[in-house]
Copies of this chain bind each other. A is one copy, B any other.
Amino acid sequence: MSYNIRLLVSCPDKKGLIAAVSQFIAMHDGNILSADQYVGEDSATFFMRLEIEGEGFGLERDEFAAAFAPLARQHEMEWSMSYTDTPKRMAILVSKYDHCLTDLLWRWDAGELDAEIPLVISNHPDLRSRAESHGVPFHHLPVTKETKAEQEGEMLRLLSESDVDLVVLARYMQILSPKFVHAYPDRIVNIHHSFLPAFVGADPYRRAHDRGVKTIGATAHYVTEDLDAGPIIHQDVAHVTHRDTVDDLVRLGREVERRVLAHAVRWHLEDRVLVDGNRTVVFE
């Protein structure tokens, strides 16, 4: 079965980095299928993503790290790699709204999202059958003010047990603790139902309606300790008119939310998103 290798590299910018890395790949008979580079404007950080054909590449999986180490050390590189025949493991957290979960599961079935989904976790029981009808185990962890810390611990245990790489908040209506966020740095994707930084916080469609905006939006971003302020991965909008009630905004917003979240998740799963301070580099 054919597969590709994805290599992500970041390091302080200097001359010769592309040559050094591509030379390393060529030396090991690698066929580069696509290559993207970017140097952060403010950070002067060099970012690179390579997709290499697995077949014919001269380094075995357990050999790559040792072989690449000297180069990485020399240029102070942070790097990671993934193999397309080993999909990432993605957990989905939901509450009661089902549109984002349904859309992700449908796209997953349709082959649009290359991932394993070992579990769905929710603080409400409502979406059990939705998850299970796609063959995904569902865990109900109700949250009250008193049990919140304990249930987060249980969530972390479940995620760890399931060896999860990515956590998707598909309209999960609980704020996660710093401890939880730090457990999955740049690996928790949230969908916010507004065009951030407009309408940070609760009830954005109501506030959008009251402000009389003519466009609503949705924002997919990595979760950081600072609520709704993490690095933005993707945004899109829909036009609205004075005739649209708050309910209409919610309805039209659902359409934008599920599209924006699905694109962001797909890009993450394909290792296309890198974080540069509080901004993202998206190698589409």
Of the A-B pairs whose beta carbons lie under 8 Å apart in the complex, a sample of 11, sorted by A's number, is A22-B23, A34-B37, A36-B36, A38-B243, A110-B254, A133-B133, A212-B232, A214-B233, A214-B234, A215-B217, A215-B235
Please tell me if A202 contacts chain B, counting CB pairs below 8 Å: no
B16, B30, B38, B99: the one within 8 Å of A110 (CB) = B99
**Docked-complex contact B35 and A282, CB < 8 angstroms:** no
Name the residue on B nearest A133 (C-beta).
B133
Chain B residues with CB under 8 A of A215: 195, 217, 235-237
Count copies of this chain in the complex. Answer: 4
Give the Cβ gap from A264 to chain B, nearest Cβ, in Å.
Answer: 10
Interface residues, chain A, with chain B CB atoms under 8 Å away: 15-16, 18-20, 22-23, 25-26, 29-39, 41, 98-99, 102, 106, 110, 112, 133, 195-199, 210-215, 217, 231-237, 241-243, 245, 251, 254-255, 259, 276, 278-282, 284
Q: Name which residue of chain B comes closest to A255, CB basis.
A: B259
A234 to chain B, nearest CB (A): 6
